[in-house]
Structure 1
Amino acid sequence: MKKLFLPLCILLLMSGCKKSELDVANSSPAVAADKAVAVAEYEVEAPPAPKEVYQMAPASSISEKSEPVNKSAQPSIAPKKLDTIAKKIIKNGNMKIQVGDIKKAQNQVEDILKKNNAYIQTEQFQNTDLDDNLDLVIRVPHKNFDALINSFSDGVGSVLSKNISSNDVTEEYTDVSIKLANKKIYIEKYRDMLRSASTTKDMIEIQETIRELEDEIDIAEGRLRFIDDRVNYSTLNLSLYKEKVRSSATSKIGFGSRFADSITEGWNSFMSFLLGIISLWPFMLLIPIIIFLWRKWKSGRSK
C-alpha cells in the first residue's frame, strides 16, 4: 500500500506544474504584451533629454536685425592694450659757423656726413657783397646726432651760435597708437555687420561709417609715420657763414671809388628832389590863381 502511495503523490505534483504552464500559455495576447512592455520599460530606460543652453547674442547682432543701424552706437569693445612703447624723443638743432672758405668747409661737411650716415635734405647758397651764406638742412640718424654736432663744432670753423632742443612725444605716440588699434577693431566689426545687413538703408549707413573710419585710420597712420621719421632721423639746420674782407685793391673801395660814389649819390639825390617837385605840379597851378585873387582884393581895398 505504501509503495503505491508514493508514486501517486509524485504524479499529482507533476500534473499541477503542467497546469500552471498551460494557464500562462493560454492567457490573452494583450495581457502578455502589456507585461512584455512593462518588462522592457523596466529593463531599458531612455536617456534624459539634453538640456537647452541659451546664450545672449552680442549687441551688434541684435541691432543689425531688430532695428536700423545707429552711427553713434558703435560696437562695444574693450580698449586694446599695447605693449610698452619705447621713449620717442625728437631732436632738432640750429648751428651757425663762420668759416674762411665756403668750398673747403663744404667738402669737410660732406666728409662728416658720410661718417655719420647723414644726408642733406635741402641746400641754399647766397652770395652778397658783404658775405657768403650756405644754408643746409641735414638729416642724421638719432644715435649719431651728438657726434655730428661735435664734429661740426671742432673741425669746420668758429661756432657763432648753437641751439639744440629735445621733444618727448612718447605720450602722443602712445595715444595715437591705441586709438588706431581700436579703430581697426571697430572697422572689422562694421564690415561683419555689413555682410549681414538686411536692408539697403543699413548697408549705406554702415558703408559711410566704414569710410569715415578708413579716413581716420589713414590720418593716424600718417601721423605715426611722421613721428617715427622725426624720431629715427634728427634734423640739423646748419649755416656756413663767410664774411668778405674788402680792400681798395680787391674791391675798389679806395678814395677814387668813394669820390665817384659820392658824386653818384649826390646826383641821385638831386634827381629825387627834382622829381619830387615835379610830382607837386597840381599844387603849382594854384599859385597863379592865388596871386590874381590877392591882387584883386588889394586893389579893391585901396579904392
Structure 2
Amino acid sequence: MKNIFIALSFITFVHCNKSENSHEVQANLLEVQDDKVDASIVFETPPPPKEELPKSAMISAKAINEEPNIYAPKNNVIAKKIIKNCEIEIQVGDIKKAQNQTSEIVKKNNAYIQTERFTNTDVDEKSFLTIRVPHKNFDALVNSFSNVIGSVLSKNISSDDVTEEYTDVSIKLNNKKIYLEKYRDMLRSAKTTKDMLEIQENIRELEDEIDIAEGRLRFIDDRVNYSTLNLVLYKEKARSSATSKVGFGSRFGDSFTEGWNSFIAFFLGIISFWPFFLLIPIVILLWRKWRNRKKHFTE
C-alpha cells in the first residue's frame, strides 16, 4: 500500500511540472508576439518618393489663356458688373450760381469733381465738368441736375454690362496664379541651368500677365463702383452785348475798313487768274484761223 501511494505521488509531481512548463512556453510565445506587434507599430513604412514633374509638363504661359479653369470653384458666382455713364448739357442764367449749385449737389450725393474746364467767348460761357458718383447715388445725382440748375438741352444715359468680361479675366487670372505656383515649385527642383532659365522666363511672363489682369479688374471695379457724369453748363450771351458800348464813329470806321479789305481781297483774287487772261486771246486766235480755213475749203 505504501508503494502504491509513493508511485501516485511521483506521477502527480511529473504531471505538474509538465503543465508548468507548458504555461511558461505559452507565456514566452505571447511575449514574442507582443514584441512583434510593438515593432510593427514603432517602425512605420516610409512614404514613397515624390515623383518629379517631367520636362514635358512645362506649359507655355500663352496656353494658359486657352485652357479651362479646372481648379476654380464652380459655385463662385460673380455679381453683375454694370458701368453707367451720363452726358448732360444744361442752359443756365448765371454760370457762377450754377457752379455753386453744382458743388452743393455733388457734395450731397457723396460724389467728387474729377476734372473741370471753363471757356468764355463773345458768344457764350461754358463750364465742362467730369463728376464721379457712387453707383447707388447715380440716379439721384442725374435727377438733381435735371430739375434744379436750369433747362436741359440734351441728356444721354448709357449702361454697359461688363460681367462677362470681368468673369473671363478673373478665371484666367486664377489659372495664371495656379500655374505660377507650379512653375515656382519646378524651379526649386530644376537640375540644369537650361531648365532654370526656361522656367524663369515662363514665371516672368506669367507675372506680367497677372499684373495686367489685376489692373484691368481694378479699372472695371472703379468704373462700376463710381459712375461717370459729364456735365456742361451753358450760358448764351446776348448778341448785342459785344457792340453795345461801341460808338457810331468807331463802328463806321470798322465797316469802311472791312469794305476796303474785301475790295482788296477781290482785286487780288482776280489778279491770281492772270494765266487764264493770257490764254484767252490765244484760244480766240486759234479759233478764228480754224474758222477761216474751214470757210476757204467750203468755197
Candidates 50, 65, 71, aligned match of 2:59: 71
Counterpart secondary structure, 1:148: helix
Distance, in Å, in 1 between the alignment partners of 2:130 and 2:279 is 62
Q: Deviations over 1:257-299 (max 9, x none)?
A: 66444423322222223434555677889999x7xx99xx9xx
Instruction: Determine which of 204, 209, 225 is the counterpart of 1:211.
Output: 204
Map residues 1-303 of structure 1 onto 2, 5 A cutoff: 6-7=1-2, 13=7, 44-45=32-33, 46=36, 61-64=51-54, 67=55, 70-72=58-60, 78-81=71-74, 83-247=76-240, 251-252=244-245, 259-277=252-270, 279=272
Between the aligned partners of 1:201 and 1:224, the Cα distance in structure 2 is 35
The alpha-carbon distance between structure 1 residues 276 and 187, as it changes in their structure 2 partners (threshold 3 A), is same
Separation in 2, partners of 1:249, 1:203? 76
Larger radius of gyration: 1
Asked if structure 1 preserves the Cα contact closer than 8 Å seen for 2:135 and 2:225, the reply is: yes
TM-superposed deviation, 1:85:
2.2
Q: How far apart are residue 71 of structure 1 and its match? A: 3.3
**C-alpha distance 261-124 of structure 1, shift in aligned 2 (>3 A):** same
In structure 1, distance between residues paired with 2:25 and 2:198: 64
Q: Any conservation in 2 of the 1:80–1:181 contact (CA below 8 Å)?
A: no
Structure 1 position 236, deviation (Å)? 0.5
Equivalent pairs counted in the alignment come to 268
TM-score under structure 1 normalisation? 0.71
Deviation sequence 1:2-28 (CA, Å, 0-9, x none): xxxx456667x59x97xx9xxxxxxxx
Q: Are 2:53 and 2:186, in contact at CA under 8 Å, matched by a contact in 1?
A: no
Contact between 1:94 and 1:164, CA under 8 Å: does it hold in 2? yes
CA RMSD of aligned residues (A): 4.1
Q: Residue by residue, what CA displacement relative to the aligned partner does 1:187-214 show, whole Å, maximum 9, x if unpaired? A: 1121111111111111111111111111
Output one character per residue of 1:41-64: Cα deviation in whole Å (capped at 9) or x when no partner. 79845559799798796xxx5334
- The answer for unaligned runs of 5 or more in structure 2 is 15-23, 290-299
**Whole-angstrom CA distance in 2 between matches of 1:225 and 1:92:** 18
Identity of paired residues, percent?
Answer: 67
Shift of 1:86: 2.1
